[in-house]
Amino acid sequence: MADPLPYSRDDEKVQPPLKYDEFRASVVRAPTKPLVRIPHTLTETTGPSGKGVWAKLMGPAVMDLTRQHSGEPLGERIVVSGRVLDDHDRPAPNVMIEILQANSCGRYVHEYDQHDAPRDPNFTGAGRVITDSEGRYRFVTIKPGAYPWYNNWNSWRPAHIHFSLAGPAFANRLVTQMYFPGDPLFPLDAIANAVPKEYRHLLVARFDKGTTEPFWALSYQFDFVLRGRAATPMVQ
Ligand SMILES: [Fe+2]
């Protein structure tokens, strides 16, 4: 059997360093020894990617986070959509995209989150979709609120959505965060600031009037690029 074609490597200029002093959690979890580069063999260049395989493994898609409970969640309803592209600008179909976010008050559904803000019984904040044949995805959700965190005294995270992408192979897994345009907290965010300045804008969604739903929801566009110079930075 012929050797599988390796994927191109991450462009390290795009990515944040593993250890960034301003982001305190990165200091304690960053590797202390040089990384070992693993060759892209069959194990890394393949994955559960056939049509319908994700639905079989994970169950049906959850694209509307505003309809997971008996009532409607509070907050500003939004549509988040876009495309997943590979390093040659080709659409990546059958990519599983998971979404995780706080509610409109900036509180997660998790026992660790003891932030003094209301919970919302009608909002879980987790969803999952599969990209179509053109690499497109779409979620309906609620705009998340900002929340305080223990990075420094009086640190606040800007509104953001966590994304996890499982592409056609294990080598192009992507975990990142999407921010909203014009957020005054974005320039203060230690996690975003770890990304080199010229690539930081790749984390910010674009308000898109064309895909808004009249009298119903505003809309943001956010494309993911799995590799290369325009790659979406990994932010965890
Ligand atoms: Fe978060």
**Prediction pTM value:** 0.93
In three-state secondary structure terms, 87 is coil
Catalytic, out of 40, 128, 162, 200: 162
Catalytic, out of 7, 108, 199, 220: 108
Domains, in order of start, for the chain: 24-225 (2.60.130.10)
pLDDT of residue 79: 98
pLDDT of residue 80: 98
Q: What is the C-alpha separation between 161 and 101, in angstroms, rounded? A: 5
130-165 as b/e, with b when 16 or more CB fall inside 10 Å? bbeeebebbbbbbbbbbbeeebeeeeebbbbbbbeb
pLDDT of residue 47: 80
pLDDT of residue 2: 54
pLDDT tens for each residue of 136-180: 999 999 999 999 999 999 999 999 999 999 877 877 789 999 999
User: Cα(129) to centroid of ligand 1, in Å?
Assistant: 19
User: Cα(162) to centroid of ligand 1, in Å?
Assistant: 6
**Residue ranges of the chain with pLDDT lower than 50?**
none
